[in-house]
Amino acid sequence: MSPFQALYGRQCRTPLMWEEAGERQFFGLAMFAEAAENVAKVRENLRIAQSRQESYADKRIRELAFEAGEFVYLKVSPLRGTKRFHMRGKLAPRYVGPYRIKKKIGELAYELELPEHLPGCTRLPENQISPEAVDLQDNLEYLEYPVQILDRAEKGTRRTRIPMCKVLWSNHSEREATWENESEIQEKYPHLFENE
């Protein structure tokens, strides 16, 4: 409910509703006409804004069509098991490949040359991620795990200090390492702290 209804126990009657309640004569025609004119202006401004946004979107949309022999990436979903920055799967890679297209099946469907153990890209492959390195499951999901502790630091407030560690994750570069709560990482992955 609206704040007005919570306070007064009834809906707020805008000038547009006065005619329905029979109060048009009480408030006068001029006030009602002004309110209707303002609503018409707002609707026109909304229509102009929507038209402008639509024209921006239309400029950016482009039709993508691939032919046999071109390369595309395959979209995969990470398993929801790894927690980083208190969010699951936030920095997980979403695509593997690229793989060559064998043939076009439908308007949006392509047959790819996938590796035997597995049941669009607009440029040639440069950084290829192999499915073996990603530990890809049959349902095209994969697990991520921490590989190494790169750095340590303390973050704190006025009263408490929280030890943090910079974690390098599987399938990611050092540039994509994340800062995690040290106690949580030590509890889940104690083998990372054995050499210290």
The domain locations on the chain are 3-60, 63-142, 145-196
State the pLDDT at residue 84.
39
Mean pLDDT of the chain: 76
- The larger pLDDT score, comparing residue 28 to residue 66, is at 66
pTM, 2 dp = 0.35
- The larger pLDDT score, comparing residue 165 to residue 38, is at 165
Using 50, 70 and 90 to split pLDDT, how confident is the model at 49?
A: very high
- CATH class assigned to 145-196: mainly beta
- First CA to last CA distance, the chain: 58
Asked whether the predicted pLDDT for residue 181 surpasses 80, the reply is yes
Lowest-confidence range among 94-108, 111-125, 133-147, 167-181?
A: 111-125
Asked whether the predicted pLDDT for residue 47 surpasses 90, the reply is yes
